[in-house]
């Protein structure tokens, strides 16, 4: 007699079909609200990142919690109110980054297997929430696009850190790829040049000088090997060639220094003050390192 022994089959989970590509545009971040509390929450997350402030020792914690987070939020909230998108109740950085994501999705709409989304490194929508959302939509491959033309550990690298931190909590991980910096890509340089030429043509004066002002960083970060300054110079040189010999003179500067350390020079504010004292009256300032106005 044949004895049939039943075999208990393991339960099979029903997973979302995975055969899609996700593209995630990532910008720096912005407060959720234009008040002191919203700015404080944002600044705490931003300035607690070791990629941004490398020395997170006791002195910095005292400065951050005892001075910066008690004095700057109220003042900065007033600045945000001046530019706040009241219709959508959000900062321009969110509005513009969303629009960029929507336009990219439209541009590649014929690739039906690709989903485009956007996130902020600090604040909302968080990278964690959007990576999880892309995975839930069936994306088993995700392309992370840091929206920084020039690479820096304080910007592009921390995006990578956060992306892999999110993956660290997943059992079934999507495959990740990260786009390289695009500081000298011809399309980027041409877009800068067209924007500059268009806006200069609309002015009621002919500028004597164009100042290309990039976000600054401590000089010691460059001394440790960060390629940011080199890439800013490369962008400026490529832009100068693209604008041609008939364009106004182009000068490179760095803005937004913070604290007491020496930052990349020349400083934008000091340079403009000096130019004014030297008699220069017609000036245009452009910021090639910002992919969206914040």
Q: What are the DSSP calls for 125-149, one per residue? A: SBHHHHHHHHHHTTEEEEEEEE--S
Indicate whether 237 pLDDT > 60.
yes
Where along the chain do its domains lie?
Answer: 20-178, 186-286
Residue of higher predicted confidence among 138 and 1: 138
| Residues counted in the chain | 294
DSSP alpha helix (H) spans, the chain: 36-47, 58-63, 69-83, 92-107, 127-136, 158-167, 186-201, 219-223, 228-243, 268-277
Q: Do domains 20-178 and 186-286 have the same CATH topology?
A: yes
| pLDDT greater at residue 158 or residue 5 | 158
Q: What is the CATH number of domain 20-178?
A: 3.40.50.1400
Tell me which residue of 212, 228, 211 sits closest to 263, measured CA to CA: 228
pLDDT band for position 17 (50/70/90)? Answer: low
The correct answer on CATH 3.40.50.1400 for the domain covering 186-286 is yes
Q: What is the mean pLDDT of residues 168-190?
A: 97
Report the percentage of the chain scoring pLDDT > 70: 94
Residue with tokens 């490369």: 234
**Taking residues 115-144, what's their average pLDDT?**
98
pLDDT beyond 80 at 7: no
Over range 167-181, report the average pLDDT: 97
What pLDDT, on the 0 to 100 scale, is given for residue 4? 59
């Amino acid at each position: 007699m044949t004895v049939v022994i039943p075999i208990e089959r393991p339960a099979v989970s029903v997973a979302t079909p995975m055969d899609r590509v996700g593209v995630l545009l990532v910008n720096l971040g912005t407060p959720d609200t234009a008040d002191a509390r919203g700015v404080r929450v944002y600044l705490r997350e931003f300035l607690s990142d070791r990629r941004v402030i490398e020395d997170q020792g006791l002195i910095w914690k005292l400065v951050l919690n005892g001075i910066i987070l008690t004095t700057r939020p109220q003042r900065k909230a007033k600045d945000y109110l001046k530019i706040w998108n009241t219709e959508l109740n959000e900062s321009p950085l969110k509005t513009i980054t969303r629009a960029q994501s929507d336009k990219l999705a439209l541009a590649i709409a014929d690739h039906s297997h690709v989903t485009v989304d956007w996130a902020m490194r600090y604040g909302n929508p968080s990278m964690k929430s959007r990576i999880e959302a892309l995975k839930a939509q069936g994306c088993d491959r995700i392309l992370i696009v840091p929206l920084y033309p020039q690479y820096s550990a304080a910007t592009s690298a921390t995006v990578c850190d956060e992306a892999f931190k999110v993956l660290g909590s997943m059992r079934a991980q999507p495959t990740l790829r990260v786009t390289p910096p695009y500081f000298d890509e011809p399309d980027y340089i041409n877009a800068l040049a067209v924007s500059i030429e268009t806006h200069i043509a609309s002015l009621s004066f002919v500028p004597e000088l164009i100042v290309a002002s990039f976000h600054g960083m401590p000089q010691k970060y460059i001394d440790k090997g960060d390629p940011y300054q080199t890439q800013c110079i490369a962008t400026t040189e490529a832009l100068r060639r693209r604008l041609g010999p008939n364009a106004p003179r182009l000068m490179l500067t760095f803005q937004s220094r913070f604290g007491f350390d020496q930052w990349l020079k020349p400083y934008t504010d000091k340079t403009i003050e000096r130019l004014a004292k030297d008699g220069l009256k017609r000036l245009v300032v452009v910021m090639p390192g910002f992919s969206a106005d914040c």
